[in-house]
Structure 1
């Protein structure tokens, strides 16, 4: 029973965080030149490279989190993405997102970190393919063996 609750919690977090990244990624992809200009204005290095990279990472990473496919690996990329966003853009604006602060990127980054550590849970493509059992050290394998 405890395992089921944990897996449902992971599913809920994955879906909400994944959907948020997916929508932000699609927004960036929908106006890639605007995203590039925005990155340039924020001082992000190599905006012509970073804008499409971040847009694709957020889009594909969001889908990966939602379905739980290689979720810990994509989650690590999204943690790094949120850390860079916090340090380069948001930290100087304080905490609250309404002021341009780091509130949202902190929340998304820490939730992604939790997925990277815990794994995708039982209700995921990773579990269906038994990746944690096939790849030594893959997140989530220890919990499955104990359950």
Structure 2
């Protein structure tokens, strides 16, 4: 029973996490604007604030989209986790509070861990990665075995 439900559980996890990341990226890109986001990053002491802003927004929007469709999951997971670990270092340091309502690192730690977990989960049967890998596996299974002669 669990095996049959696993693809649905992974799909729900991928979609929800992807939507959260896309919403945060869209807020930085469209609502606040990239210039304001870069200025905010500069005020937080984040190095190369403009480059960091584009890296972050790219990770959140593109990485979140990749999570939703289940494509390039390990790369998307690492990209998103790196952004969250950067947020934990620069914005929500471990030396501060734990709970997010107190400005702590709880939320960004959770997002980083979920990004890694889903990124390396394989995404389930309903992920593009799995569908593509299954097709590659099917093609390899159809190929006749080569017999090499020993001279």
TM-score, normalised to structure 2, is 0.82
Q: 2:74 aligns with which of 55, 72, 83?
A: 72
* Paired residue total: 134
Q: What secondary structure does 2:57 align onto?
A: helix
Given the alignment of the two structures, is residue 44 of structure 1 paired with residue 43 of structure 2, yes or no? no
* 1:22 aligned residue: 22
Larger radius of gyration, structure 1 or 2?
2
Mapped contact 1:86–1:105 kept (Cα < 8 A): yes
Given the alignment of the two structures, is residue 9 of structure 1 paired with residue 9 of structure 2, yes or no? yes
- The two structures, once aligned, show a CA RMSD in angstroms of 1.7
Mapped contact 1:36–1:48 kept (Cα < 8 A): yes
Distance 2:136 2:60 in 1: 27
**5+ residue gaps, structure 2:** 138-151
Distance 1:29 1:105 in 2: 19
Mapped contact 2:77–2:120 kept (Cα < 8 A): no
Distance 2:135 2:4 in 1: 17
Distance 1:76 1:132 in 2: 25
Change (3 A) 1:131 1:93: farther
**Higher mean C-alpha displacement, 69-78 vs 124-133:** 124-133
| CA displacement, residues 86-113 of structure 1 (integer Å, 9 cap, x when unaligned) | 1111024411212221111011111111
TM-score, normalised to structure 1, is 0.84
- The alpha carbon displacement at 1:130 in A equals 1.8
**5+ residue gaps, structure 1:** 135-147
Distance 1:68 1:95 in 2: 31
* 1:86 aligned residue: 88
- The alpha carbon displacement at 1:45 in A equals 0.2
* 2:58 aligned residue: 56
| CA displacement, residues 6-52 of structure 1 (integer Å, 9 cap, x when unaligned) | 22221111111110001111111111111101100111000011101
